[in-house]
Chain A
Amino acid sequence: MSNHRVAICGVGQTERYKTKLSCSLAGLVREAALNALADAGCGWSDIDALIIGKAPDMFEGVVMPEAYLAEALGGVNKPVIRVHTAGSVGGSTAIVAANHIKSGLFKRVLTVAFEKQSESNAHWALSPSMPFRPHFNSGAGGMFAPVIREYMRRSDAPEDVGCQVAVKDRLHAINNPHAHLHLPDIDIDTVKNSPMLWEPTRFLESCPSSDGACAMVLAAESHADTSAHKPAWVHAMAMRSEPSFYPWREEVNPEASRACAKDLYAQAGITQPRKQLDMAEVYVPFSWFEPIWLESLGFAESGQGWRLTLEGATSRDQGGDIPWNCSGGVLSSNPIGASGMIRFAEAALQVRGMAEQRQVEGAKRALGHAYGGHSQFFAMWIVGSEKP
């Protein structure tokens, strides 16, 4: 392994992840980038390379948009790379950026992930009518609903676990000025009474369609002290992929998820994630994915994840021991391509003590997680307040 440590010394997000008609795509990404540079205490000329991520180009209708966006992001005369790994892309983009630093060849890089779903129809792009196949496709919600139902069958979890997650994450979001949804009056009944979309998933158990960008400045150890605030340090990174469909594929607790977490924890020396991590930002686009990932990521035994949710263990507001998604999570903001990077960045803000109203007091180590495709692409990192 290389000895080059990776510091996160700047995080920037767009003001609020709601539909943003007042700016162009370039304006959107630039806002996040400028915020990240300001946090990092450096300027465009201090950046050695630009790493851009977003989900399918059909979400905005711009083919390979890094060519168009390079100028707005100070990419001219620099190496620029565009990552696309479906929903996990925000996370995998951060990992590609971190590898630039870890290689020892770059001192400071800017990474930006975004989606501006208001510029096209993401639901259309997610439910393509493909030649030679009947069009039974019904978007991400339709794809994940049978997985949720299968989790419910196996775990025998009470029916309102999903509603609890939906309430918990929306209450967390009130503390996050960037969150798309601010629903201070939400409660279990509001969620239960919201329209059923893809049974068993209700409207308020689903993520919104958001516009937004998230950016980070990553630096080598020698260049990590420009920010007014202390940096976060990358302790571990991992990625895994598996095919979308194959006979009897384990879809609730995919092998790729388990393998990715195993690799990650081994790097960081973690054997008991619930005890050894202080918080986690995990990609939960539909409420039931909280208990699903609690189990897959080793925070709970198989079939027991929902108990943590019901006990309030994942709620910061209830003083839970392992708060999940203090930012409000994907359920409160989902600019798809950026969502993974927001998870990674929020984890970094927490261990830097910069998460303001959503701060988990004394957070020293945090997990950032993203997944995509048919629960088949995974990207994760663990960041810490101290050097690894």
Chain B
Amino acid sequence: MREVAIVAYAQSPQVRQEKVLNEVEMLMPVIETALTEAAMTMEDIDFVCSGSCDYIAGGAFSFVGAVDALGATPSKMESHVEMDAAWALYESWLKIQAGEISSALIYGFGKSSVGDLPDVMSQQCDPYYLAPLWPDSISMAGLQASALLATGRYTERDFAEVVVDSRRKAKANPAAQLSGDVEVDALLTAPYIASPLRRHDCCPITDGVSVLIITDKSALPKAKMKPVYIRGIDHRMEAHQLGIRTLSESSSSTQALAQAKQQAGIEQFDIAELYAPFSPQTLILKDALGLDNQVAINPSGGPLAGHIMMSAGLDRFGMSFKTLQHGEAKTALAHATSGPCLQHNMIAILEAG
């Protein structure tokens, strides 16, 4: 396997509602920041790949306009996944493994504020049996949380503790939308929105964009910077129908981790950035991934502190990169998810170079 490094990451502020800028206007300065960080120009980038969702933007071909932010004249080798941009990263990583390219710029973007995200996501379900019932994403996560409580492994207090931890860590993340000191007991007095979930158990609606640059080791930018290597990466899908799955577990995360560990030859991680948009999912993932208390979970605050739908998975790579680059840890596990109730999971193992 070729050694692939993350060399730059930039993100817009994770705001509740971006009232002025459109996606392209948000994207241009962030691309520039990432390129500057890597001391690269667009000409140095062999391949560009993005992740976004038309139904979030409210129009077909929403990714097409984003090409305007690339200065793609002359044309560029470019592709798009209608998935979280973590999968755009995966596609780019594969292209490097295939020897087709040695550098890639990956971006994800979304303005969830313009629509009703939980309702929009209900239309990801089976269109004949499920979608006509409009099962919104919060209600589905509520089902999953109930299933977790029913196992007796965790209580609602544990959910609240995940939130307290996220908000506290997010104080150090200037891009976070939600941060601060909150008390478990106070959180537990909040009303349910889809029991056993309370508002704070759910990731906040967020507008934003993120950009990440990777290169083959042979093509590291000349900038004086510390690369972070992707030592292993894998992703796995589960069944769609919620009734078929054991919702209190995440078998595909376990499976992807095993594959990633095999590629990386690394067993232990200092930190883990988990894409758990609902607090109980953090606990499900911790168990599925065998993360003990030695592993710092979501030093950035994680998706509960800011959640750019379609980029939150890529952000887990970016946040891990930042932590490793600052020397605060040596190895990281980055996780991304897609589909209702953690249907599809990606695991990557990152190591500071």
| Inter-chain contacts of A63 with B (CB < 8 A) | 53, 55, 120-121, 123-124
| Inter-chain contacts of B252 with A (CB < 8 A) | 77
Chain A residue at minimum C-beta to C-beta distance from B99: A2
Select B237's contact among A70, A96, A373, beta carbons within 8 Å.
A70
Q: Assess whether B91 is interfacial by the CB under 8 Å rule.
A: yes
Q: What is the number of residues of chain A that contact chain B, defined by CB distance less than 8 Å? A: 64
Within 8 A of A (CB), among B227-242: 234-241
Q: Which one of B55, B60, B241, B338 has the highest number of Cβ atoms from chain A below 10 Å of its Cβ?
A: B60
Chain A residue at minimum C-beta to C-beta distance from B76: A241
Q: Please, what's the 1-or-0 string for A356-388, where 1 marks a CB less than 8 Å from any CB in chain B?
A: 000000000000000001101100000000000
A67 contacts B344, C-beta separation under 8 Å: yes
Chain B residue at minimum C-beta to C-beta distance from A80: B237
Q: Assess whether B275 is interfacial by the CB under 8 Å rule.
A: no
Q: Assess whether A240 is interfacial by the CB under 8 Å rule.
A: yes
| Inter-chain contacts of B54 with A (CB < 8 A) | 56-58
Q: Please, what's the 1-or-0 string for B61-88, where 1 marks a CB less than 8 Å from any CB in chain A?
A: 1011101101011111111111100010
- Of B126-134, B282-290, B292-300, the one contacting chain A is B126-134
Q: Assess whether A310 is interfacial by the CB under 8 Å rule.
A: no
Known: A96-B79, A241-B76, A242-B75. A86 touches B55 (CB 8 A): no
A241 contacts B72, C-beta separation under 8 Å: yes
Closest chain B CB from A279 CB (angstroms): 26
Closest chain A CB from B81 CB (angstroms): 6
B65 contacts A68, C-beta separation under 8 Å: no
Q: Assess whether A313 is interfacial by the CB under 8 Å rule.
A: no
Q: Assess whether A130 is interfacial by the CB under 8 Å rule.
A: yes
Q: Assess whether A42 is interfacial by the CB under 8 Å rule.
A: no
Q: Assess whether B14 is interfacial by the CB under 8 Å rule.
A: no
A240 contacts B236, C-beta separation under 8 Å: no
| Inter-chain contacts of A242 with B (CB < 8 A) | 67, 72-76
B98 contacts A64, C-beta separation under 8 Å: no
Select B338's contact among A67, A78, A377, beta carbons within 8 Å.
A67
Chain B residue at minimum C-beta to C-beta distance from A51: B91
Q: Please, what's the 1-or-0 string for A108-123, where 1 marks a CB less than 8 Å from any CB in chain B?
A: 0000000000010000
Chain A residue at minimum C-beta to C-beta distance from B82: A84
Q: Assess whether B339 is interfacial by the CB under 8 Å rule.
A: yes
Chain A residue at minimum C-beta to C-beta distance from B238: A76
| Inter-chain contacts of B99 with A (CB < 8 A) | 1-2, 102
| Inter-chain contacts of A374 with B (CB < 8 A) | 64
Q: Please, what's the 1-or-0 string for A241-283, where 1 marks a CB less than 8 Å from any CB in chain B?
A: 1111010000000111001100000000000000000000000
Chain B residue at minimum C-beta to C-beta distance from A374: B64
| Inter-chain contacts of A260 with B (CB < 8 A) | 75
B95 contacts A62, C-beta separation under 8 Å: no
Select B82's contact among A57, A125, A126, beta carbons within 8 Å.
A57
Q: Assess whether A227 is interfacial by the CB under 8 Å rule.
A: no
B237 contacts A243, C-beta separation under 8 Å: no
Closest chain B CB from A273 CB (angstroms): 19
A75 contacts B237, C-beta separation under 8 Å: yes
| Inter-chain contacts of A243 with B (CB < 8 A) | 67-68, 70, 72-73
Q: Assess whether B1 is interfacial by the CB under 8 Å rule.
A: yes
Chain B residue at minimum C-beta to C-beta distance from A62: B127
Closest chain A CB from B190 CB (angstroms): 29
Question: In the complex, A3 Cα to B73 Cα: how many Å?
Answer: 31
B60 contacts A128, C-beta separation under 8 Å: yes
Closest chain A CB from B138 CB (angstroms): 16
Q: Please, what's the 1-or-0 string for B1-18, where 1 marks a CB less than 8 Å from any CB in chain A?
A: 100000000000000000
Q: Assess whether A4 is interfacial by the CB under 8 Å rule.
A: yes
| Inter-chain contacts of A58 with B (CB < 8 A) | 54-55, 60
Q: Assess whether A239 is interfacial by the CB under 8 Å rule.
A: yes
Q: Assess whether B34 is interfacial by the CB under 8 Å rule.
A: no
Chain B residue at minimum C-beta to C-beta distance from A52: B82
Select A64's contact among B124, B237, B241, beta carbons within 8 Å.
B124
Question: In the complex, A102 Cα to B55 Cα: how many Å?
Answer: 33
Known: A84-B82, A99-B95, A102-B99. A67 touches B236 (CB 8 A): no
Closest chain A CB from B180 CB (angstroms): 33
Question: In the complex, A80 Cα to B344 Cα: how many Å?
Answer: 8
Q: Assess whether B125 is interfacial by the CB under 8 Å rule.
A: yes
Within 8 A of B (CB), among A85-117: 85-86, 92, 96, 99-100, 102-105
B59 contacts A244, C-beta separation under 8 Å: no
Q: Assess whether A71 is interfacial by the CB under 8 Å rule.
A: yes
Closest chain B CB from A4 CB (angstroms): 7
Question: In the complex, A377 Cα to B80 Cα: how many Å?
Answer: 11
Question: In the complex, A102 Cα to B99 Cα: how many Å?
Answer: 8
Question: In the complex, A198 Cα to B131 Cα: how many Å?
Answer: 36
| Inter-chain contacts of B338 with A (CB < 8 A) | 64, 67
Select A61's contact among B59, B123, B340, beta carbons within 8 Å.
B123
Closest chain B CB from A312 CB (angstroms): 33
Closest chain A CB from B256 CB (angstroms): 8
Q: Assess whether B94 is interfacial by the CB under 8 Å rule.
A: yes
Q: Assess whether A79 is interfacial by the CB under 8 Å rule.
A: yes
A2 contacts B75, C-beta separation under 8 Å: no
B73 contacts A239, C-beta separation under 8 Å: no
Known: A67-B343, A255-B73. A241 touches B78 (CB 8 A): yes
Q: Please, what's the 1-or-0 string for B88-132, where 1 marks a CB less than 8 Å from any CB in chain A?
A: 001100110111100000000000000000001101111110010
Q: Which one of A25, A65, A255, A260 has the highest number of Cβ atoms from chain B below 10 Å of its Cβ?
A: A65
Question: In the complex, A68 Cα to B241 Cα: how many Å?
Answer: 8
Q: Assess whether B33 is interfacial by the CB under 8 Å rule.
A: no
Q: Assess whether A157 is interfacial by the CB under 8 Å rule.
A: no
Q: Assess whether A15 is interfacial by the CB under 8 Å rule.
A: no
Chain A residue at minimum C-beta to C-beta distance from B122: A63
Q: Assess whether B139 is interfacial by the CB under 8 Å rule.
A: no
| Inter-chain contacts of B123 with A (CB < 8 A) | 61-63
Q: Please, what's the 1-or-0 string for B42-54, where 1 marks a CB less than 8 Å from any CB in chain A?
A: 0000001000011
Known: A61-B123, A99-B95, A242-B67. 14 other contacts (CB 8 A): A56-B61, A62-B123, A63-B120, A67-B125, A67-B338, A77-B238, A85-B80, A128-B59, A240-B76, A241-B78, A246-B73, A255-B73, A255-B74, A260-B75
Question: Closest 4 interchain pairs by CB?
Answer: A256-B75, A103-B97, A241-B78, A102-B98
21 residue pairs from A and B, CB less than 8 Å apart: A1-B99, A56-B61, A61-B123, A64-B124, A67-B338, A70-B237, A70-B343, A75-B237, A78-B236, A79-B236, A86-B64, A92-B79, A241-B78, A241-B79, A242-B72, A242-B75, A243-B70, A246-B73, A260-B75, A374-B64, A377-B78
Interface residues of A (CB under 8 A from B): 1-2, 4, 24-25, 50, 56-68, 70-71, 75-86, 92, 96, 99-100, 102-105, 119, 125-126, 128, 130, 237-244, 246, 254-256, 259-260, 373-374, 376-377
